[in-house]
Structure 1
Amino acid sequence: MSVVALVPAAGRGERLGAGVPKALVPVRGEPLLVHAVRGLLASGCVQRVVVAAPLSDVDTMVGVLASAGADALVVPGGPSRTQSVRLALHAAMADVPDATVVLVHDAARAFTPAGLVRSVVERVNSGSPAVIPVLPVADTIKRVDAHGVVAATPDRADLRIVQTPQGFRLDVLRRAYDAYPDDTTTDDAGLVERLGVGIDTVPGDPHAMKITTRFDLAVAEAVLG
């Protein structure tokens, strides 16, 4: 009963403007990808990490991870996040045939605490088919129409911010990707949800913030690194 973690890292990260894939952007001297893989392995419950890299950067990512001592299998990703996850999932099933739990984790959430990884895995192992870490919404949310006019104000008490890693029984995630082969979702739990599978939650962590903009990068350098 092994746990595998998939890290789709084929994004170009245009909003960071670093000129390299987002996963290779350094924080405190090491790429986000290295921090992310180390965090997954530090949880003590992940047996294998599979990284989906841009085709042109596979060798670079292999070298970066190897030099940092962060053990991971690197495979070519696809043109979309969904395709990258699918390719990483197939590689993981071939590499770890006894895997029963799969995590999908954003390389941009490079400083996710190991304890959060464990809590997701423990909840799946306790019987939940799908688990996501969440945080309460602090800001008021408005729904607007196509013209930018406020249409409604949802009750934020019922809203949550979703983080990663998202955890699944392997057979459940595989069924979702088989059922929606052309989907371009950015949320794996949303894909599973469409199967009618219930999604459980565990408390998230502020350190699992997603590094998307240069401001986020500055926060990571100052606080999380």
Structure 2
Amino acid sequence: MPAVAAAPVTTAPAATAGLAVSHEPTSGLVPSAGDSQAVGQPLGGQPLLVHALRAVTAAELVSAVLVPAPSVAAVKAVLDAAGLDTARAWSAGETRAACLAAALRLLPSDADVVVVHSLAYPLIPPSLVDAVIRRVRDGADAAVPVGPVTDTIKRLDAGGAVVATVPRDELGVLQAPYAFRRDLAERLFGDPTGSSDEIERALRSGVKVAGVPGTASGSPVRAGADLACAEPSSGPAGTAPAAAVVLAGGRGSRFGADRNKAFLPVAGRLVAAWSLRAFAALPEIGRLVFVVRAEDRDLAERMLAEDLPGVPVDLVTGGATRHGSEYNALRHLAPAIRAGQVGCVLLHDAARPVVDPALVRRVLAAARRHGGALPGLPAERLVPVGPDDTVHGGVQPDLVRVQTPQAFQAVPLLAAYEAAERDGFDGSDTSACVERYAPGLRVQCVPGDPRNLKVTYAPDLLLAERFLAGQDTAAKATG
């Protein structure tokens, strides 16, 4: 019996399950319902809609793709230009829920599985579509791809202050597409006035949702993000120069390269060189420290000579863990900290090459006012995942995905790491150590930057290349 899926615009049969691509009610590259141009937004030379349709129609288990759309003309123009002549479009309402409800009424009578996909996830492989369909056919009521959490996750209080570090191995990132038993989809999503996210609606209704392994290319493609963190309040600011520590002491095993990902080329420079150059250009930064593995020291020296000639950078050998590398950097800076020559310390992942000077200044200003600061983006699609890969509970409302740089007033930061060293404590990030050993120090979350991505998998490097190429072009135009 074939499976089908639902949401906005339609194509003809492909194999044995059907799928519908849905409009995402967000701004930027992801089309809002009723937006006549967003479906044609390009990604890698092809519109988002084309990427999504080609992925799902290539799945082995897909027999029909239904894509109802608010703007028939815009969708049809994209499909015709791409040669997707088996697809057809029709008017189906102005919201995602209305489009999905319309698609459900058009399903083939023998369809047993409904798969809901989104233009926000244009890079998923066809195998992921088949995986969620198979999971439902194996007995699950619903299935969703769940990717690993690669950022540090923090819980905030109502004022935007960090109150706890959340173990990321207990969480997963929801990806797409979603698969449901047909009868369940019709019961849950037949109402055109329902809320927008189908998995959240299913979880609230008590549906047991099974997870399947997600993909490194499963991140949503968006031009902006709603920020849950407030700007820091005003207060006294420190005047001593800050030190910036760029950490490249890890192995980057998840990336799968034959060397440390910090020394891979991107947009004409090595990954680590981009953030080092960004910090070196800021007058607020008085000391620049680069932490590397012993085996990468020669490579680091060559990179500094080529990309930062004449810029004083202290090379420090890292530790066995991230915490150990941070401690080594702070021990190196300890004499200057105790002498009052360093007021704040910023710690940044070398694997985040697209760091904006405005973000650095925002974090530093908040640390000087409050004691500590870190940038965060809303962790809007994190769900608890059990040991059996079952998604349980809804999306967590008070969590943020933490970025770097993280900044702290230097004296209490050094004291916290010295106390941690005595106890043998090894934190997941800088803030985790401060939370434990300097509980009176307020760590304020400030708005992060969606472009400030962490290069964890190969697709991340391609996206960083795109951001950095645009950044470099803009700098040359204004220089």
TM-score by length of 1: 0.83
1:44 aligns with 2:60: yes
Q: 1:32 is matched by which residue type in structure 2?
A: L
Q: Report the Cα distance in structure 1 between the residues aligned to 2:124 and 2:221, rounded to whole angstroms.
A: 11
Q: CA RMSD in A?
A: 2.8
Q: Aligned to 1:3, what secondary structure does the other structure show?
A: coil
Tell me the residue number matched to 1:184. Answer: 195
Q: Report the Cα distance in structure 1 between the residues aligned to 2:147 and 2:38, rounded to whole angstroms.
A: 24
Alpha-carbon distance, 1:122 to partner? 1.1
Tell me the residue number matched to 1:28. Answer: 44
Q: Report the Cα distance in structure 2 between the residues aligned to 1:145 and 1:52, rounded to whole angstroms.
A: 41
Deviation per CA, 1:123-156, whole angstroms, max 9, x where unpaired? 1111111000011111121222332123443321
Q: Report the Cα distance in structure 2 between the residues aligned to 1:137 and 1:183, rounded to whole angstroms.
A: 29
Which runs of structure 2 are paired with 1:207-218 in the superposition (5 Å)?
207-213=217-223, 215=451
Among candidates 64, 68, 71, match of residue 82 of structure 2: 68
Moved more, 113-122 or 146-155: 146-155
Q: 1:147 is matched by which residue type in structure 2?
A: G
Q: Aligned to 2:101, what secondary structure does the other structure show?
A: helix
Tell me the residue number matched to 1:7. Answer: 21
Unmatched 5+ residue regions in structure 2?
A: 5-18, 225-450, 454-461, 467-479
Residues 8 and 88, structure 1, Cα contact 8 Å, conserved in 2? no
Residues 103 and 168, structure 1, Cα contact 8 Å, conserved in 2? yes
Alpha-carbon distance, 1:7 to partner? 1.2
Q: Report the Cα distance in structure 2 between the residues aligned to 1:17 and 1:118, rounded to whole angstroms.
A: 24
Q: Report the Cα distance in structure 2 between the residues aligned to 1:17 and 1:106, rounded to whole angstroms.
A: 9
Alpha-carbon distance, 1:181 to partner? 5.7
Among candidates 49, 59, 64, match of residue 73 of structure 2: 59
Tell me the residue number matched to 1:127. Answer: 139
Tell me the residue number matched to 2:118. Answer: 106
Residues 130 and 200, structure 1, Cα contact 8 Å, conserved in 2? yes
**Which structure shows the higher helix fraction?**
1
Residues 24 and 31, structure 1, Cα contact 8 Å, conserved in 2? yes
Alpha-carbon distance, 1:99 to partner? 0.9
Structure number with greater CO (CA < 8 Å, separation at least 6) is 1
Q: Aligned to 1:14, what secondary structure does the other structure show?
A: coil
Q: 2:2 is matched by which residue type in structure 1?
A: S
TM-score by length of 2: 0.41
Residues 176 and 192, structure 1, Cα contact 8 Å, conserved in 2? yes
Residues 133 and 162, structure 1, Cα contact 8 Å, conserved in 2? yes
- Bigger Rg, structure 1 or 2: 2
Q: Report the Cα distance in structure 2 between the residues aligned to 1:163 and 1:66, rounded to whole angstroms.
A: 28
Distance 1:63 1:2, change over 3 A: farther
Alpha-carbon distance, 1:10 to partner? 6.3
Deviation per CA, 1:167-200, whole angstroms, max 9, x where unpaired? 011111111124x664323x21121122222100
Which runs of structure 2 are paired with 1:66-215 in the superposition (5 Å)?
66-70=80-84, 71-91=86-106, 93=107, 96-178=108-190, 182-185=193-196, 187-213=197-223, 215=451
Alpha-carbon distance, 1:221 to partner? 8.7
Residues 30 and 119, structure 2, Cα contact 8 Å, conserved in 1? no
Q: 1:15 is matched by which residue type in structure 2?
A: G
1:219 aligns with 2:467: no
Q: Report the Cα distance in structure 1 between the residues aligned to 2:464 and 2:178, rounded to whole angstroms.
A: 21
Distance 1:62 1:220, change over 3 A: farther
Q: Report the Cα distance in structure 2 between the residues aligned to 1:16 and 1:40, rounded to whole angstroms.
A: 19
Q: 2:40 is matched by which residue type in structure 1?
A: L
Alpha-carbon distance, 1:17 to partner? 9.8
How many percent identity over aligned positions? Answer: 36
Between the two proteins, the alignment pairs up a number of residues equal to 214
Distance 1:143 1:75, change over 3 A: farther
Residues 129 and 169, structure 1, Cα contact 8 Å, conserved in 2? yes
Q: Aligned to 1:153, what secondary structure does the other structure show?
A: strand
Deviation per CA, 1:4-54, whole angstroms, max 9, x where unpaired? 21211264x533499964321012332110111011011121111111322
